[in-house]
C-alpha cells in the first residue's frame, strides 16, 4: 500500500499565504479523447490508463497544483449502473496511483475525488445514513490505498450526504484532510435548498477546514456564492471556488460553453 502524506501539505501552503490553483474538468476531457455518453469514466482507470495519465499530466503542465482523481462516480451506487459495483476498491486505487505518479514528478497534490451517490438519504430518501457512510467508506478505502494527499468531496446538494461522506472517509482515513464543496445552481442555493451561509457554517462545525462551491452555472454565479461564504466563513476555514465553464450550447455542430478563460 502506498503511504499517505503524513502532514497536511494543503494547509501548509495556504497558511503560508499562497493561493492553490486547482485543475479542471475530467468528464469533458475524457469525452474529447473518446469516452461516449453512458460510458463509465472510472473504468478507464484500468482500461485506458495512458489517457487518464495524459489528462493528469496536461493539467500539471498547465500549472495545476492539485490533481483530482478520476473517481467522481467511484461509489458502488454509481458504479453499479455500469455493472461494475464490485470494483470500487480497484478502480479508485488505480486512479490515485496514476495521479500519484504525475504528482510525484511535478510536486502537485493528489485529491481523492468523491462525488454524490445519486441516492436520496434519509429523511428525504430510502438510503440510511449508516448505509451511506459505509458506501463512502468503501470508496475512501481505495483512495487511501493509492496514496492521496487529501479527500475532495464535491458537487453535493444535501448536507446529509456531505455528512455521510465525511464520516465515511474519516472512518477509513481519520488523519487525511478533507475538502468539501457544494453546487449552488438554484438561485444561489443547492437544489436541496442549502444556502452558502449554512453550508460554510455547517462544514466548519464538522471540522472541515477547506470548504466552497463547484460546478453551478458559471463564474458569475460562483462569485456571488463565494462572496456570501466569505461573509459567514468561520475563522480558520479556507474557501474553494471551482466554477464550470458556464452553460453548454451547440455552435457550428460542436458543444460550446458560455464561459471564457
Q: How many CB atoms lie within 10 A of CB 193?
A: 12
Higher pLDDT, 123 or 153: 153
Digit-coded pLDDT (tens) for 193-238: 999 999 999 999 999 999 999 988 888 999 999 999 999 999 999 9
- Residues 6 or more apart whose CB falls under 8 angstroms from that of 143 comprise 69, 71, 74, 92, 93, 96, 112, 114, 151, 173
pLDDT at 1: 38
pTM above 0.85, yes or no: yes
Q: Is the per-residue pLDDT at 261 higher than 80?
A: no
Evaluate whether residue 2 is within a structural domain: no
DSSP class of residue 260? -
Mean pLDDT of 177-183: 98
pLDDT at 38: 84
Evaluate whether residue 90 is within a structural domain: yes
Evaluate whether residue 202 is within a structural domain: yes
> Nine-digit cell at 117?
451517490
Evaluate whether residue 1 is within a structural domain: no
Instruction: Give the count of domains, the chain.
Output: 1
Q: How many CB atoms lie within 10 A of CB 122?
A: 14
- Dmax (CA) for the chain in angstroms is 50
CATH code of the domain containing 136:
3.20.20.330
Evaluate whether residue 163 is within a structural domain: yes
> Nine-digit cell at 147?
496514496
Q: Which domain holds residue 212?
A: 9-257
- Residues 6 or more apart whose CB falls under 8 angstroms from that of 66 comprise 20, 21, 22, 23, 108, 109, 110, 111
Phi, psi of 64, deg, nearest 5: -65, 135
Give the closest residue to 7 by CA, choosing from 174, 149, 206, 179. Answer: 149
Digit-coded pLDDT (tens) for 78-106: 999 999 999 999 999 999 999 999 999 99
CA neighbours closer than 13 Å in the CB half-sphere of residue 133 = 14
Evaluate whether residue 161 is within a structural domain: yes
Evaluate whether residue 156 is within a structural domain: yes
pLDDT at 72: 98
Evaluate whether residue 83 is within a structural domain: yes
Q: Please state the separation of Cα 242 from the chain's center in Å.
A: 10
Amino acid at each position: 500500500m502506498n503511504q499517505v502524506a503524513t502532514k497536511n501539505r494543503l494547509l501548509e501552503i495556504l497558511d503560508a499565504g499562497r493561493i492553490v490553483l486547482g485543475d479542471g474538468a475530467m468528464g469533458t476531457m475524457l469525452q474529447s479523447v473518446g469516452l461516449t455518453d453512458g460510458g463509465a469514466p472510472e473504468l478507464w482507470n484500468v482500461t485506458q490508463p495512458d489517457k487518464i495519465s495524459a489528462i493528469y499530466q496536461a493539467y500539471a503542465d498547465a500549472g495545476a497544483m492539485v490533481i483530482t482523481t478520476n473517481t467522481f462516480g467511484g461509489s458502488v451506487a454509481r458504479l453499479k449502473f455500469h455493472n461494475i459495483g464490485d470494483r470500487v476498491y480497484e478502480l479508485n486505487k488505480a486512479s490515485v496511483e496514476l495521479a500519484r505518479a504525475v504528482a510525484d514528478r511535478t510536486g502537485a497534490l493528489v485529491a481523492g475525488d468523491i462525488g454524490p451517490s445519486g441516492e436520496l438519504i434519509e429523511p428525504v430518501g430510502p438510503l440510511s445514513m449508516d448505509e451511506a457512510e459505509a458506501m463512502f467508506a468503501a470508496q475512501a478505502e481505495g483512495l487511501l490505498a493509492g496514496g492521496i494527499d487529501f479527500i475532495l468531496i464535491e458537487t453535493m446538494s444535501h448536507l446529509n450526504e456531505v455528512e455521510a461522506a465525511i464520516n465515511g472517509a474519516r472512518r477509513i482515513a481519520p488523519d487525511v484532510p478533507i475538502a468539501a464543496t457544494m453546487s449552488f445552481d438554484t438561485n444561489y442555493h443547492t437544489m436541496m435548498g442549502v444556502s452558502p451561509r449554512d453550508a460554510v457554517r455547517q462544514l466548519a462545525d464538522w471540522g472541515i477546514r477547506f470548504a466552497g462551491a463547484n460546478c453551478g452555472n458559471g463564474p458569475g454565479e460562483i462569485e456571488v456564492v463565494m462572496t456570501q461564504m466569505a461573509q459567514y466563513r468561520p475563522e480558520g476555514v479556507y474557501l474553494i471556488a471551482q466554477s464550470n465553464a458556464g452553460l453548454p450550447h451547440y455552435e457550428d455542430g460542436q458543444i460550446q460553453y458560455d464561459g471564457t478563460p
